[in-house]
Amino acid sequence: MSGVVWLALDGVGHPQDAPGGSVWDQPLGTLRPLVDAGRCLDATLGVPGLPQSGTGQACWLTGSDAVALMGEHFGPHPGPTLQRLLQEGSLPVRLARAGGRAALGNEYVPAYFQALESGAGRRNRMGCFPFAFRAAGLPLNPPRVPLLGATLGLGYARPWSAGGEERAALDALARHGGALARAARDVDLLALDLWFSDLLGHAGAPDVPGDALAAGQSYLRRVDALLSGLLGAGARVVVGSDHGNLEDLRTKGHTLARVPFAGAGVNLGQPGNVVEAGRVLAGWFGLPGA
């Protein structure tokens, strides 16, 4: 059986908690039906404050309540406490220990490694996903995986969208999805840390910037194309998010929105929050809940 491809969106709240005219308010022929058929998860875990990437992703990756461990929502990058949690109990680590095969399909550019090195000895600037895969002894930019840039072809900074080139980009992403589906046949888990949605979400403002909305809409169309390629090639797929942000561009920061948990070829179960969803994920690989 093919491995599971995990599209780990960053900062994309569920459409049910998005205001009218949001990035979700457009035709997304593959992504939207999948999300609508999936679950709607709490990301606050009953703790005040806005959910953050460090604790949120650690919940997904470990099935442990990382927010309770920290006593607060913390991020974006895991500090020493969350690093220990990820080293001991994250899905890539536990899979590797059990003889399973996992890969992180993100493409990391040379500037990323340079930034990590220049920050050596200072605060960790590696997100939970790359940190957890490295903790499992797995390389970033693994060979034999068609690596995917998390911007999905958009520019890193304004103006994000080149405009006029989207059709070709969507076709390329659908083909890339097919290639990832084929690569997933050789592993148990193939994760993609799609952090760019959170970056776009931070461009929000009370008077919603038109270019941020357009880029956010385009980003979801690109996820939709990637997903259609994955599903068309028979991949088992899970889609989740760590917290809300992009779904409400009226605010610059994260939101309290619930987050999607959707999938194809997997049993989603009935989790109510991101910790329980992390346990469901682990269960697919025969790993016990945290």
* Per CB under 5 A, 198 contacts Zn ion: yes
The distance of closest approach from Cβ of residue 75 to Zn ion in the complex, given in angstroms and rounded to an integer, is: 7
Residue 256: Cβ within 10 Å count? 16
Closest contact distance (angstroms) between CB of 182 and Zn ion is 29
Q: Using CA atoms, how far apart are residues 102 and 285, in angstroms rounded to an integer?
A: 11
Judged by CB under 5 A, which stretch of 4-12, 122-130, 149-157, 262-270 contacts Zn ion?
4-12
Query: Can you give the length of the chain in residues?
Result: 290
Q: Are 145 and 107 in contact (CB under 8 A)?
A: no
Of 4, 6, 8, 10, the one binding Zn ion (CB under 5 A) is: 10
Site for Zn ion in 143-182 (CB under 5 A): none
Q: Which stretch binds Zn ion (CB under 5 A): 34-42, 109-117, 159-167, 238-246?
A: 238-246
Provide, rounded to whole angstroms, the least separation between the CB of residue 10 and Zn ion.
Answer: 4
At a CB cut-off of 8 Å and minimum separation 6, what does 210 contact?
none
- Closer by beta carbon to Zn ion, 58 or else 183: 58
Across the beta sheet with 102-104, what order do the strands follow? 39-41, 259-264, 236-241, 4-9, 189-194, 102-104
For the CB of residue 243, give the shortest distance to Zn ion in the complex, in Å: 5
By the 8 A CB rule, do 4 and 236 touch? Answer: yes
Q: Of the candidates 65, 193, 224, 242, which one interacts with Zn ion according to CB under 5 A?
A: 242
Residues between 200 and 219 that touch Zn ion (CB under 5 A): none
Q: Does 11 bind Zn ion (CB under 5 A)?
A: yes
Cα dist from 213 to 13, 202, 251, whole Å: 15, 11, 12
H helix intervals, the chain: 31-36, 53-62, 66-70, 80-89, 91-97, 110-118, 128-135, 166-183, 196-201, 210-232, 274-284
Nearer to Zn ion, 65 or 242 (CB): 242
181 vs 257, beta carbon nearer Zn ion: 257
Contact 76, 53 (CB under 8 A): yes
Please work out, in degrees rounded to the nearest 5, the angle formed at the alpha carbon of residue 192 by the alpha carbons of 190 and 197: 160
DSSP state of 42: B
Q: Which stretch binds Zn ion (CB under 5 A): 22-30, 132-140, 239-247, 258-266?
A: 239-247
Residue count at the site for Zn ion (CB under 5 A)?
5
Piece in contact with Zn ion (CB under 5 A), picked from 194-202, 204-212, 228-236, 276-284:
194-202
Question: Quick one: which of 2, 44, 53, 161 contacts Zn ion (CB under 5 A)?
Answer: 53
Q: Which stretch binds Zn ion (CB under 5 A): 64-72, 117-125, 161-169, 235-243?
A: 235-243
Q: For binding to Zn ion (CB under 5 A), which residues are involved?
A: 10-11, 53, 198, 242
